[in-house]
């Protein structure tokens, strides 16, 4: 086991017993939602995963230790600390560990630590991707590169619609990452069920998802698999309405010179403000929806 990694007793017992485990990120706690909704949502997501037959493993860096499985107190700590905690991607891990610092894990770092621990399925909200204007800024999320090299299935509600979805799909194709639509032929766009862009494959059951990912692992193909699971119909937002808010938020970010890792938290907060909180409600529901699918898929994968 990696000497910097701590696996909680519950998660370790599940892994040792061949039981299903689902990884969860912690940036959504520190940077994705305000306190106390962030902590309430994180604990509800863990509860949902248990109710659907798997063990949750929320992942973070605390005191320089890579943690696979957090206690409720540790989740509360991250939630209260909020944006004071470093938003940690791959590049941040060596320094945070060496300094004994805290870090909330993005999709990329959650995948890394999950793979170290032996966890194969990860549920999140949405992945990062190619930002609008990346042809001049080169602002491309490390999440995409991690999907290309780390063998973890990532279940999400698509790429965040603050991104350039077409270029994000092109990047994933170049890196050989399968983009699967769960029960859909179209890439969901986080707050909405449709984007106008197609996926590589449509699969309709957790059994199909688990079988495809096992085949990938058995063949020794590097990298992960991206499963895009549309937000439930009743919580899906009107595309024109949410895209208008996104466009306004992007223009403000550009005017203020906001770049890099500060971009997504700023845009999500601004969109929440512009939609009167509707976007945050949608965000919570899509995360719960992804947690349910991840638990079911992990349970099947554990039996294969």
**CA–CA dist 27, 15 (Å, integer):** 24
Q: Which residues are catalytic?
A: 25, 160
> Are the beta carbons of 4 and 101 closer than 8 angstroms?
no
Output 40-43 pairs: Cβ under 8 A, ≥24 positions apart: 41/284, 41/287, 42/75, 42/79, 43/72, 43/75
If we measure between CA atoms, which residue out of 145, 144, 157 comes closest to residue 192?
157
Angle at 227 between CA 222 and CA 229, to 5 degrees: 170
- Give the DSSP H/E element, type plus range, for residue 295: helix 278-303
**CA–CA dist 277, 274 (Å, integer):** 8
The token duo for 151 is: 């063998």
Q: Which residue has the tokens 């890439």?
A: 187
Tell how strand 55-62 and strand 103-105 pair up: antiparallel
**CA–CA dist 121, 22 (Å, integer):** 5
**CA–CA dist 202, 120 (Å, integer):** 20
Q: Is 35 exposed, middle or buried (0-12, 13-18, 19+ CB in 10 A)?
A: middle
Cβ atoms within 10 A of the Cβ of 64, count? 15
The SS3 of residue 8 is coil
- CA distances, 103 to each of 29, 95, 136, 205 (Å): 11, 10, 29, 35
């Amino acid at each position: 086991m990696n000497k910097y990694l701590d696996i909680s007793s519950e998660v370790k017992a599940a892994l040792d017993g061949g039981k299903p485990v689902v990884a969860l990120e912690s940036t959504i706690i520190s940077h994705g939602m305000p306190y106390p909704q962030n902590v309430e949502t994180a604990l509800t997501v863990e509860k949902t995963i248990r109710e659907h037959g798997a063990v949750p493993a929320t992942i973070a860096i605390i005191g320089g230790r890579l943690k696979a499985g957090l206690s409720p107190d540790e989740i509360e700590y991250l939630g209260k600390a909020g944006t004071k905690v470093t938003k940690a991607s791959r590049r941040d891990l060596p320094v945070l560990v060496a300094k004994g610092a805290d870090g909330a894990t993005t999709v990329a770092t959650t995948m890394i630590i999950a793979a170290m621990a032996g966890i194969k399925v990860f549920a999140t909200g949405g992945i990062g991707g190619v930002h609008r204007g990346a042809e001049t800024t080169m602002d491309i999320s490390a999440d995409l590169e991690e999907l290309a090299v780390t063998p973890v299935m990532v279940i999400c509600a698509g790429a965040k619609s603050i991104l350039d979805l077409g270029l994000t799909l092109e990047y994933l194709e170049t890196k050989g990452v399968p983009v699967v639509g769960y029960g859909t032929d179209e890439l969901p766009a986080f707050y909405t069920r449709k984007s106008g862009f197609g996926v590589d494959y449509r699969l309709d059951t957790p059994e199909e998802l688990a079988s495809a990912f096992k085949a990938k692992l058995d063949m020794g193909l590097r990298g992960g698999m991206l499963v895009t699971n549309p937000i439930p119909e009743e919580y899906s937002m009107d595309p024109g309405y949410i895209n208008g808010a996104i466009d306004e938020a992007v223009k403000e970010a550009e005017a203020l010179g906001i770049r890099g890792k500060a971009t997504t938290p700023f845009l999500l907060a601004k969109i929440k403000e512009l939609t009167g909180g509707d976007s945050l409600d949608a965000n919570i529901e899509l995360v719960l929806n992804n947690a349910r699918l991840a638990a079911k898929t992990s349970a099947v994968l554990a039996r294969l």
